[in-house]
Chains A and B, each alone.
Chain A
């Protein structure tokens, strides 16, 4: 997948990045741990919608693939009941997959304590690399095949025949991208001192992803028929948006990690 960068957008992003770095420097220089935490947390929460929206829309895309496969197997499978049941199982698979992830992230923050910022830096760099891979800018790297749920489907690592397993596969995809962001959030929230706080916050995130995903499936299941016919145009654009978001998120995590190190 090729990616073209508009010069004006690049300049706008660069200016925004410089402003953020300048404010970060101010926060550090102010020598106030409280306002440093506010600034770092503010950066993460401000980016929340931009991080979650592409992923949540891809969840709908992934469910559409499941429904198509079910419809191919059984002629009567495209009804409202099938959509609702599949969405519920997909969501359950996703949430159950996130339980051990929540434990891992919360546990990592709790165990690493005041050195948890190191993993934040590593997470930020990994996210940038992942974003560049999704955008197709890493030619032959093993990451270049990572194209989101479509990769999981093509590689055969996900079963898009069964909604529950597709949900767990999507959870795996989601956690690998959002994991560093979530980890940074739980560290700043104080999970270095409380394991259950970390776990609770990650599960809250997963639940916040699942509810908007379930609503159209439960209330307007016929909308999945439209999404199915438009999937080939929607998913590549979502993939590109995801790549840009990942690079941006990685760049954001680096100053946040530095701020967290100073706390």
Chain B
């Protein structure tokens, strides 16, 4: 049964709508990647449990939810909706890949889990002065922030964005860029392992604020600016949403999906820094007590 015309554009037939909403994309490379990530983590956690008798359950849950966010972004019906019908759905997908999955995955990592694997690789590199300097430059928060903003803006330039919609290889490259830029961006904030460049609490908050300025400006262009992506004008709309309204919702979605992790992580880093401060104070007090006893 077809729906009536709205805003001069044709609505998607309800049978087609149902088929899109049930379309799971079991892309073999994505499935293999996710399974490998899950098994790899499980192996590390099992090894840690075998040697130390425990592992961080909450971190494991964060890892699983991070992989779930990637699954929803790339394999659920959201992918079909984003690729063919709704810009706002595509923003949800991008938000999951850049702002939801990466911090969750990084929260799943911690030194005891990761260092046994990274130490054999990193130690010789860090011992060499030249590679140490390169690694230090590469791990600079300024560089990570710059890459994140460039990737965010570049892939939303209409020419590149629509090329990705029309070419599957370019689309995959786009998603790879988003995930990696996201991981690089959140790394100096969450610091799952000690990094070469450490930021103070105020610097981390300023880092998040600058990133949100970038998101805010892009979101404003999508909300108040002219229609950016003619691709969606040629496709049929969904749920009575015009292409102009869809773009506005997309801008709002981008803003909210970036703001929620930023605020959540801001609270988390505050709590974490207070815990570190308190532990440091307790350790100093214990040492002072020990000296007094002596």
Contacts and interface: CB of A to CB of B under 8 A. Distances in A.
A and B are partners in one complex rather than unrelated chains? yes
Interface of A: 34-35, 37-39, 41-42, 44-50, 52-53, 56-57, 60, 188-189, 204, 208-209, 211-213, 215-216, 219-220, 223, 226-227, 229-230, 234
7 contacts: A34-B225, A46-B213, A53-B205, A60-B267, A212-B267, A215-B264, A234-B270
A38 B205 contact: no
Interface string B247-261: 000001001100110
B216 A56 contact: no
Contacts, number: 104
Contact of B212 (A49, A209, A223, A226): A49
Contacts of B216: 42, 44-49
- Interface secondary structure of B, over-half rule: helix
A46 B213 CA distance: 4
A230 B277 contact: yes
A49 B259 contact: yes
- Interface secondary structure of A, over-half rule: helix
B271 A212 contact: no
Interface of B: 58, 205, 208-209, 212-213, 215-217, 219-221, 223-226, 252, 255-256, 259-260, 262-264, 266-268, 270-271, 274-275, 277-278
Contacts of A60: 267, 270
Contact of A211 (B209, B217, B260, B277): B260
A212 B225 contact: no
Given A34-B224, A34-B225, A212 B256 contact: no
Nearest to A215: B264
B263 A212 contact: yes
Contacts of A42: 216-217, 220-221
Nearest to A223: B271
A226 B267 contact: no
B278 A229 contact: yes
Contacts of A229: 278
Contacts of A219: 58
Contacts of B219: 45
